Structure 1
Amino acid sequence: MTMEHLLELDKKHFIHPTSSIQQQQEKGAKIIVEKGEGIYLTDKNGSVYMDVMSSLWNVNVGHGREELAEAAAEQMKKLAFSSAFSTFSHEPAIKLAEKIASLAPKGLNAVFFTSGGSESNDTAFKLVRHYWRIQDQPNRRKIISLKRGYHGVAAASTSATGIPEFWNMAGQMMTDFHHADTPYENGTDKAIVSLRQLIEAEGPETIAAFIAEPVQGAGGVLIPPSDFFKEVRNVCDEYGILLIADEVITGFGRTGKMFGVENWGVTPDLMSFAKGVTSGYVPLGGVIVSNHIHDVLKEKSKGTLFHGYTYSGHPTAAAVALKNLEIIEKEELVENSRKMGEELLKGFQKLKEEIDIVGNVRTIGLLGAVELVQDPKTNKRFSPDYQVAAKVIEALHQRGVICRAVTYEGTDIICFSPPLIINPSQIDSLLERLKGAIKEVKEGLTTV
């Protein structure tokens, strides 16, 4: 098909997720991607882009891995799909559950599979409520999360998300979800005070679980203070509340550890995962639960567990995930994430020294962010009228870089999450293009 034909069909038939419908109708698709290889995407016009968001934080092993296509084809020829309902099982899901348990923090050993991150967090919420109900504590239903957190767009995961725009899209949220202050702006002490106050106000006997991302991704790559999760673990233990780590973005090497919580030596009671488990090649997610929770479910659940998705434990998805995890381990991509993240941080810090609108910069593994501010000394933010983040993203696009901006309460943040295979020369190329994009936007601001 010609580009013109594809653009018209896109406008007519394709409702894009998390996109401006009006913009789509006026300007058409931003790009139409044709193929991917390594850290690069090529569009229908032949233009090549560095994909430094790993698409949606998820293409950990890079684009175009034939091994994953071959794993999918081999499994499809043998058994493309078979239900896991009613205790039916198959080898790929069994082997994947065992593999994920072997990678997870000690004590987390049982896996419930889903199709993606939103389903994983919804599943975690249902499991913890069921856990309390079968122990004669049905009032423990409330879920506490953090402001600026992102946990998905299904009904319950939207409610746990701490970004108001996601609540406003379809009206009223579900009940029994509450949001504590983040430590990123307030520090650990104030954040823990906020969490305690919320628990006491709602009643500890009504709280089922606390959920947080080890690093808040969509909120702007917000890395917590080093003591935050240890304090959260202590508070949860004190009040008998379960701790859920949302590892959808941070899992499988993204932060320089296999799982994000390992950076702070904390073991949660449940971990939700998705994205990097297959590097996005096929949809797959899940929840890992602790031995204690699994034991309670085995001992006290009566009859059927009425929760499950058609594609829970999908054989082809499981086969791809196994091969993907094999690649991550064989190519030592967790360690590469750590090393390249350090190089990326050095580059960001140099930009901060050279360009006076660059404010806070940060990385943890290959998750990173650059903040843009009018005055770094006072952290004075740009007026929203300037649309600084959006302009930098467009300037990067013109330089062949696909990136993502977050603007939150006046803070302009450019986020980075490149594939874990990225190498030093590609880091240098990215930094050079970023420098040019920020300088271009800065020069344009002087004329506004």
Structure 2
Amino acid sequence: MLEYKLLEKFKYGTGTQSLSDEEIEKEYQNRINGYSTRVTNIYPYLINRNKISSNHYPLFIVETVKINELFNEIQTESKNIEKIATNLPGIAQSGYINSLLQNEIFFTNEIEGVKTNKEEIGTIIGDSVSKKRNKRRRLESTIRRYQAALAKKDIRIEKLEDIRKLYDDLLNGELADDDLPDGKLFRNSKVYIGGETEIIFNPPANEDLISIQLTKLIELMNDDSINFLERAFITHFVFENTHPFRDGNGRMGRYLLSSYLSKKLDQFTALSISSAIHIEVQKYYRIFKDADNIFNRADLTIFITEMAKTVLNGQRRVSENLLIRKELLDYNWNHLNNRFDDLTENEKTVLNIFLQSKLFSNDDSTGVQDREIISFLNNTDHKRFPRNTVKDAISYLEERNIIQKIKSAPLQHILLDEYIEKEFNR
């Protein structure tokens, strides 16, 4: 199978002499008019060698065999992740989801050079579980918006105002006043993307041009005849290419991608996006730069291919990590069950939950709280686990120095590290 190349690389042919302009034009026409090509009515802004941008070419994708293979692999891996997760106990599942959410928020900010603290993020996630409400804190709106997307309560984007509402909700309190939109909905001033000495890209110059681009994008986003993965990746590119806001475009763009995938795939996949991008961040920047290059004439084939590979790599890391943690859970539970064979069955059940939390949470900030244990067991079997029974079991485990209290409001205990063996011979 021949490697698909963007026109900028294709022009060099197989020898030392570049192809002529006529040969490049012929190849472009073959691609854009091919049977397996999807041509959209979106004309992204592309930059030339003189750093001037224009939008003369329609965005298109050649739906290659490789793209179709990757899309199938992503859906298959999503089912595999769901199968693995189904075999995990409830607290292990929720603990790992919270850990992925913590990573997603941390790395989407890290990609933008916005410094955050994982423990701070985890604490807000934990407070949302306990329904605790303090004064608004940094990142709280971002976390709530991701949780809404996972719960399928996200806003359906049908008009331009919906994009602005999502943006406001996602980044409430995260932006300086000077970075807020200066137009009715979007920015109305010219910006450029790049460093201090080099312009990398010029997006649309004002709100009217931005609105034209996003109106066409909304139409595509709601076109169910297009594969949902293709729509998700196109949306991610076009939003970034349009750059509708003065700040926060990268975080908003990755949120849209995560939200899109949460509707069609498993939660674990949706929350592995920014982590996967962060690992391959230089490739991420490169495929955007190539897609923005006017010589490639709005060909998004390689962008779609590489984004699909990134998502799939993220999924595979999740699958592997879940299996490893499940193996650790089984191994350590066998060890603890034998070591504390004098505990009652109810006390062992509570101990097992603390073990799940220890192994499936990133850190104590995303670990299980006492009230969650009480609620979980009471809802599972309220006759066997009335609230006082669970509280008594927690107190007894603390008296035995098997667990220790780390927080009072909300009350939280953790299993002591000395009882965990995190490495073992397979």
- TM-score, length of structure 1 as denominator length: 0.27
Q: Larger Cα Rg: Structure 1 or Structure 2?
A: 2
Q: Which structure shows the higher strand fraction?
A: 1
- Give me the TM-score of the superposition, normalised by structure 2: 0.28
Give 1 or 2: higher helix fraction.
2
